[in-house]
Structure 1
Amino acid sequence: MSNSVVANRYSTALFELGQEKSLLNTLEIEIRGVQEVFQNNEQLQTFLNHPSIPVEKKKELLKDAFKDVSKELLNTLLIMVERHRESEILPMTEAFIQMNNEAQGVAEATVYSVRALSDDEKQSLEKVFAAKLDKKALHITNIVDPTIIGGVKLKIGNRIYDGTVSSKLERIERQLVSANK
């Protein structure tokens, strides 16, 4: 089985359980927390993926680290460790978030800008691009990138909307080079 198939199975099971118990919003918040912990802590991943560490020790660590999450999410994590699917936890969180976003009509957006955007600027971008993509809302992650000189670049799914000064300058440069040939 490929990694994405395994991750999708666990995320689908958790998503359906969340739907049954009306826990989707809670689960998404908790899963984003779990995702952040796994992304920012290489030692945790190394520990969980180490073959000589007993499964029970791995489960104890997860119970301690995630004692405040719902039993549904914690049990999913424990089952994944029990079945030696530790490496699938991060892909499972991503699949769950994507599934929940689709169910709620929300899209994840990464916005690159020269400086941190204000809440009003984020809301303005969300309003314009949510309507353009026929979504109810966008979850915006702002990344500060001084190399873009000015403007913003949005990445939503596999689409990129580039309104940066640096890309405009690159286009002008290409036009000048091709005109001089």
Structure 2
Amino acid sequence: MALYEVAKKERSVEEAKQDLTSIAGIFNAQPQLQNFLASPLVDREKKLDLVDKVFSDRARPITMKLLRLLIDKRRETELLAVREEFERIVEEAHGTLPVLITSAVALDKGKLDQIVTRVAQQTGKDVIPEVEVDPALIGGVQVEFGNSILDGSVSGALKRLRERLFIDVFKQA
């Protein structure tokens, strides 16, 4: 991705990542802004003016160039996908892996470290854990990273059992 290469050259990868995250947050908080930029009825110049007014004091020049380029190429709606891809490239380049660890109850440090170590061994990457508590899991843990979900939760086991029973019922019918 060109943005990563330019940011790397300028030694501003983390800053570009922060900008994209901040802009995505604004888009998510202000859906009307996203709708305005996505509208084919709105003139390109009006979109550029709005982006300059809203983001010029919040984003670095490299990020502003990206926003303007997306508008020029009529790819305004791709900003969130660009952010996700940029983050993936940065994580890959740095050998890091964000991991979402969800448990039914709060995990103690020892258990969390055990999960992080296991995922790090499995993937060969430095794990950056994000921990959430979801009582709906009933018990156990779900671990999500990349395109993988390791579901060791009670609710997941019940769901798999329900699906298996459902399939067995139809096989007999």
How many pairs were matched up? 167
Q: 2:49 aligns with which of 60, 74, 80?
A: 60
Q: 1:75 aligns with which of 36, 54, 65?
A: 65
In the TM superposition, residue 144 of structure 1 has moved relative to its aligned partner by 4.2
Amino acid at match of 1:59: L
Amino acid at match of 2:65: N
Task: Identify if the C-alpha distance between structure 1 residues 59 and 110 changes in structure 2 by more than 3 Å, giving closer, same or farther.
Answer: same
* d(CA) in 1 for partners of 2:120, 2:66: 32
The answer to whether 1:95 aligns with 2:105 is no
SS at match of 1:154: strand
In the TM superposition, residue 43 of structure 1 has moved relative to its aligned partner by 1.2
* d(CA) in 2 for partners of 1:83, 1:171: 45
Task: Identify if the C-alpha distance between structure 1 residues 170 and 78 changes in structure 2 by more than 3 Å, giving closer, same or farther.
Answer: closer
TM-score, with normalisation over the residues of structure 2? 0.79
SS at match of 1:88: helix
User: 1:29-61: CA deviations, max 9, x gaps?
Assistant: 222222222334321221001122222221122
Mean Cα deviation higher: 143-152 or 91-100? 143-152
User: 1:50-81: CA deviations, max 9, x gaps?
Assistant: 12222222112222222221100111111111
* d(CA) in 2 for partners of 1:53, 1:159: 40
Q: 2:98 aligns with which of 108, 119, 123?
A: 108
SS at match of 1:110: strand
Alignment match, 1:19: 8
Alignment match, 1:160: 149
TM-score, with normalisation over the residues of structure 1? 0.76
Q: Pairwise mapping of residues 122-137 of structure 1 onto structure 2 (< 5 A)? A: 125-137=115-127
